[in-house]
Structure formats: structure tokens, C-alpha cells
Amino acid sequence: MKILLIDNHSKHTKELIEQLGHESIVLDYKKIDLKTTSPDDYDAIILSGGNISIINHENEYSSEIELIKSSTKPILGICLGFELITKASDERLERLPVKTSGFINIRICDDDKIFDDLPVFFQAYQSHIYHVKELTHLKKLAVSSTGIEAFKHPEKMIYGMQFHPEMSEEARIIIKNFLMIISADI
């Protein structure tokens, strides 16, 4: 299996690479060129978190947003990746009153294979200033006290996680489940 991991300069990218092992090819988000970076060359794409929000930086992430819109490959967006999928799907991000950082309680509200072997309530690490309160186009899968924590595209295999599953022993199973889902479809 060949995974394209787009590095959005998250301080947690190392943990993602360790979890994916030799299955991933890492590409800096600033080097995405849709003329030379073809999603068809990969079995799936993972969008890492980042240290800059999409808000007021749409131009900086325009190639990544276009990649999300045009790709037919499975995608998992984490933190900033979640925000990029939100933007690519014409959903609304809103600013939180204060930045949220640390472990939070998440409740699964819709059954999906991405959450196999996780309890309905689990803890995961998050660090962000924007959140999604409601969805128009994407399907809500999990929530917390700060908003929607996970969603899925209704027609494509595109998932978004506002939290960092790579930073919690319990939540790491989400990445494993994502890989199992796509390997079953290959």
C-alpha cells in the first residue's frame, strides 16, 4: 500500500510517519503541484495537522484544497487537514472564544468502520482555534464540547478528524482502521 502523507508542518508529523511506517511518502504541502503530484499514484492520502490555520491563508493551501476536490482516492484529514476538507466542501469554520489544547472527550454519534474497536466515548488530543458547529454537505460522525470532531464525505471515502489520533494510544486505532478500510478496497 502506498500512502501520500502531506506534511502541513504539524509538530506531530513524526508520530504519523512512525505509525504509517514504510507505507508513506511524505510531501511538504508547499511542494504540491497537481501537474506532477497525481493522487492516482497512491492508494490513499493523509493530510497532517499544521501550525497555520486555513482561515486567511486560503491561497497558501489552494493546491491542497484543489487536490481534495479532484481526488478520487481515500483521504484522511487531521486537524488542519480537517479544516482543509471543510473548506473544500464549502462548510463553515468558526473561531472558538479561546484556543483549545489538550485531551478532550469525544463521543461517536454515528457508527462507521473508522471507529471500529473504539468505545462510544474516548479521549484524544487536540489543539486548534477554529471549529465546526454544523454541517451541510458532510456527515457528522463524532462530537465534543467544542463542536464536530469527525465527519465523512457522503459519496467519497474522505474523512476528517479535528483532533490528532496519532497522539493518543486509544485514538491511534482510527489510523489503523483507515488503512484497513482502504486495503479492503484495493
Q: Which residues are marked as active site? A: 79, 164, 166
3-class DSSP assignment, residue 100: strand
Q: Which residue has the cell 471543510?
A: 86
Is residue 108 within 8 Å of 141, Cβ to Cβ? yes
Beta carbons of 117 and 181 less than 8 angstroms apart: no
- Residue 25's Cβ-side half-sphere holds a number of Cα atoms within 13 Å equal to 13
Is residue 108 within 8 A of residue 144, CB to CB? The reply is no
Evaluate the CA torsion angle 118, 76, 107, 135 in order and state its sign. Answer: negative
Instruction: Walk across the sheet containing 139-144 and list its strands.
Output: 24-28, 3-8, 44-50, 75-78, 158-161, 147-152, 139-144, 94-108, 121-131
**Proportion of the chain in helix, strand, coil states, percent, rounded to 5:** 30, 35, 35
